[in-house]
Amino acid sequence: MTDVLVVAELLDGKMRKTTLSAITLAKKIADGTGGKFDVLSIGAGAKAAAAELATYGARKVFATEVAGGYIAEKFAPTVADLATKGAYGVVTATASTYGKDLMPRVGARLSAGVASDVSDVSTEGGKLVYKRPMYAGNVFGYVEVTTKVQVVSARQSEFEAAAPAGAASPIEDVAAVTDAAASRVEFMGLESVKSARPELAEASVVVSGGRALKSAENFKTVLEPLVDAMGAAMGASRAACDAGYVPNDLQVGQTGKVVAPKLYVAVGISGAIQHLAGMKGSKVIVAINKDKEAPIAQVADYFLVGDLFTVIPQLTEEVKKAKAAH
C-alpha cells in the first residue's frame, strides 16, 4: 500500500494543467497498491487553487500559501516536511521545468532516490518499477527506487491529464516550512510570451519549423498562418531557436519540450537525434523537406518533398478549404 503526495504546479494563482499528469501517475500507483493520493497546492494563491485541485479525487488537498514567485528553496522544505509527516511512499510532480527544478531538491532533503521524467510505472509484486527514456529516448530503463520514500517526476506527454472525479476532497491548510537557503535567493520576475495558441505540451496538433525557415520574419509570415489554420501549437527545432528565429520555450527536443500530439508537422527540420527525442511519440508525423534523405524520414508517416516556401502557403489554403468543407 503506497500513499502518494502530488505537488501541484501553480501559475498566477491557478493550477497549471501540467499537474494533471502527475495526478494520473499518482492514481496509477495508488490504485495498483491499494493506497491513496493527496495533493499539495503550494505558492501564491494556493488556497484558491486548492478548490480546483479538490475536484480530481484526492483523499485530501493541502494548501500552503507562499507569497511571491516560485523559488525552489521556499517550496522544497515544505514538501519534504509534509512528505515525512504523511509517511508517503512516493512524492511526485510533473517533469515540467518546475518539477525538474523542485523535485530533486526535495529528494536530497529526504535522502531519497529520484526517478525523473518517467514515462510509465508498473506495480507488479508490490514493487514500483518506473520506465524512463534515456539517451535522448533511444533506450528505456526500468528503475526501482530503493529508499523508503521515492521521489518521481512524470513526463507530461506520457500521462494523460486526469479527469475530474467524484466529490470534492477536503482542504487542509499547512504552514510553510522555511530554510536558510531561501534568504539568499530573490525572485525578480517572470517574462512570459502570451500566446492565444494552445500550449505546446498540451496541443493535439503541433507545427514546428526548422532552420530552413531562414528568419524570424518567415516564421511569422510563412509558418504561423499554417499553425493557425490547423489550430495548432507552434514548435521549433533547436537550430531555429539557437538562430534566434523564435524564443527557446518553443523548442521541441531532448532538452526542450517533449510532445506527443495526434499530429506533428515538421517543416524544414532535418531530424537530428535531439529533435526526434522530443516528438517521435507523436501519433502521426508529417515531414515537409526538400531533402528526401533527411533523417526525419525515419520517423515520418508522410513525407512531402518540396520547397517549404512554395508548399506551406498551398498547404495553408488546402487546410482552410478542408476545414471549411467539414
Partner 1 sequence: MKILVPIKRVADPDNANKIKVAADGQKVTSDGLEWKLNPFDEYAVESALRLNENAKTSEKLGETIVVSIGNKDVGQTMRQALAMGADRGVLVAAEDDQLDSLVVARALKAIVDQEKPDLVLMGKQAVDGDSNTAGQMLAEMLGWPMATFAATIATTDGGKSFVVGREVDTGVLTLKVTGPCVITVDLRIVTPTAVKNGVTPADHPYADGARYASLKGIMAAKKKPIAETDLKTLAVEATPATKYSKFELPPARKGGAVFVASVEELVQKLRTEAKVL
- 3-state SS, 212-257, equals HHCCHHHHHHHHHHHHHHCCCEEEECHHHHHCCCCCHHHEECCCCE
Which region among 29-37, 39-47, 214-222, 293-301 touches partner 1 (by CB under 8 A)?
A: 293-301
Location of C-alpha cell 527514456:
133
Question: What is the distance between the alpha carbons of residues 74 and 253, in angstroms, rounded to a whole number?
Answer: 30
User: Could you say whether residue 69 binds partner 1 (CB under 8 A)?
Assistant: yes
Q: Does 304 bind partner 1 (CB under 8 A)?
A: yes
Q: What is the smallest separation between the CB atom of 143 and partner 1, expressed in angstroms?
A: 5
Tell me how far apart the alpha carbons of residues 2 and 6 are, in angstroms, rounded to a whole number.
13
First-to-last alpha carbon distance for the chain, in angstroms, is 50
CB nearer to partner 1: pick between 67 and 193: 193
Shortest Cβ distance from residue 59 to partner 1 (Å)? 27
Q: Does 242 bind partner 1 (CB under 8 A)?
A: yes
The site string for partner 1 over 96-135 (x = CB under 8 A, - otherwise) reads xxx-xxxxxxxxxx-xxxxxxx-----------x--xxxx
Of 1, 125, 192, 196, the one binding partner 1 by CB under 8 A? 192
Between 168 and 299, CB nearer to partner 1: 299
How far, in Å, are 1, 186, 240, 305 from residue 234 at the CA level? 42, 32, 12, 21
The footprint of partner 1 on residues 4-43 (CB under 8 A) is 11, 18
Residue 181 DSSP class: G
Residue with cell 475530474: 164
228 lines the binding site for partner 1 (CB under 8 A): no
Task: Give the DSSP letter of residue 286.
Answer: E
Question: Residue 9 or 38: which CB sits closer to partner 1?
Answer: 9
Segment interacting with partner 1, rule: CB under 8 A, options 34-42, 53-61, 82-90, 237-245: 237-245
**Cα–Cα dist 90/30, whole Å:** 10
- Taking the least distance from each CB to partner 1, the nearer of 54 and 240 is 240
- Choice between 58 and 265, CB closer to partner 1: 265
Find the helix packing angle between 97-109 and 72-85, rounded to 10°.
50
x/- string (CB under 8 A) for partner 1, residues 244-263? ---xxx----xx-x----xx
Nearer of residues 51 and 305 to partner 1, judged by Cβ: 305
Kindly tell me which residue out of 180, 196, 293, 324 binds partner 1, with binding defined by CB under 8 A. Answer: 180
The one among 181, 198, 216, 224 contacting partner 1 by CB under 8 A: 181
Evaluate whether 308 touches 268 at the Cβ level (below 8 Å): yes
Q: Which three cell numbers stand for residue 52?
A: 480546483
Residue 273 near partner 1 by CB under 8 A: yes
Grid cell in block for residue 302: 508522410
> Which of 48, 136, 176, 177 is in the footprint of partner 1 by CB under 8 A?
136
Q: Cα-atom radius of gyration of the chain, to the nearest Å? A: 21
Q: How far is the CB of 326 from partner 1 (least distance, A)?
A: 8
Q: Which is nearer to partner 1, 16 or 59 (CB)?
A: 16
The cell numbers describing 6, all together, are: 502530488
Name the CA dihedral angle for 257, 261, 265, 266, rounded to a multiple of 10 degrees: 30
Give the one residue of 175, 193, 196, 324 binding partner 1; rule: CB under 8 A: 193
